[in-house]
């Protein structure tokens, strides 16, 4: 009877440990820290106008942007891939409406980082009448170098939040009969 009770306790502990490991968080190895990137809207300047609502541009229901890779530059000048499960899509119209959307958590080596390289591989727009519009990326996708306003520090075994703010009002342009995509970002510590 004692052996059976001990086995149940060991089994319960193993199940709890397994459940804790499957929390959706990135696996952090020695010398690394977890990084959570959050996409939000940059503050729109007073003079800025969006091309998504005027003229003869189709009215949009959603604007999904697919992030395919993010690379961070350490203050020593070394570029390191954010080890995260990409690709990940974000509806920029939800972000423009005030929602913050987290990209999948990733890991970076412990250190201080002052720049991100953001790679976007796809854009799919959905109009209010249900028409899907795919904006074709240039070869390799849209790549943007984003300076971090204040360098962020990744601490071994700890989580760091980094805010990636998109200039949503100028990201999409209606050019006579099609949309063009030209993203601009700001980056701050969370």
Residue 44 confidence (pLDDT): 84
Give the contacts of 87 (CB within 8 A, at least 6 positions apart): 66, 67, 68, 121, 122
- Segment 101-135, tens digit of pLDDT: 999 999 999 999 999 999 999 999 999 999 999 99
State the average pLDDT over residues 146-150. Answer: 95
Q: Is 123 exposed, middle or buried (0-12, 13-18, 19+ CB in 10 A)?
A: buried
Residue 25 confidence (pLDDT): 53
Paired tokens of 186: 């700001």
- Segment 27-47, tens digit of pLDDT: 677 899 999 999 999 988 765
Alpha carbon separation from 38 to 64, 102, 106, 144, 187 (Å, rounded) = 15, 4, 12, 16, 10
Closest CA to 118 of 54, 181, 55, 179: 181
State the average pLDDT over residues 45-52. Answer: 59
Residue 140 confidence (pLDDT): 86
User: Beta strands 159-166 and 142-154: pairing type?
Assistant: unpaired
Closest CA to 74 of 158, 151, 155, 159: 151
Residue 117 confidence (pLDDT): 98
* Omega of the bond leading into 87 within 30 degrees of 0 (cis): yes
Neighbours of 45 (CB within 10 A): 10
| Residue spans per domain, the chain | 32-189
Nearest-angstrom CA–CA distance, 159 and 115 = 18
Own/partner contacts of 14-20, CB < 8 Å, gap of 24 or more, are none
pTM of the model: 0.81
């Amino acid at each position: 009877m004692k052996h059976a009770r001990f086995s149940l306790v060991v089994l319960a502990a193993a199940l709890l440990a397994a459940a804790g490991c499957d929390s959706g968080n990135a696996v952090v190895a020695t010398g690394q820290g977890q990084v959570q990137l959050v996409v939000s809207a940059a503050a729109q300047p007073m003079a800025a106008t969006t091309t998504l609502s005027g003229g003869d541009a189709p009215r949009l229901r959603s604007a999904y942007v697919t992030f395919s890779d993010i690379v961070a530059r350490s203050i020593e000048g070394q570029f390191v891939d954010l080890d995260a499960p990409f690709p990940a899509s974000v509806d920029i119209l939800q972000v423009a409406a005030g929602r913050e959307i987290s990209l999948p958590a990733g890991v970076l080596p412990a250190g201080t980082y002052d720049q991100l390289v953001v790679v976007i591989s796809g854009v799919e727009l959905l109009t209010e009448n249900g028409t899907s519009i795919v904006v074709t990326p240039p070869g390799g996708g849209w790549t943007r170098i984003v300076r971090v306003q204040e360098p962020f520090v990744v601490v071994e075994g700890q989580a760091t939040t980094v805010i990636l703010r998109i200039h949503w009002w100028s990201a999409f342009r209606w050019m006579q009969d099609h949309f063009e995509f030209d993203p601009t970002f700001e980056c701050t510590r969370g």
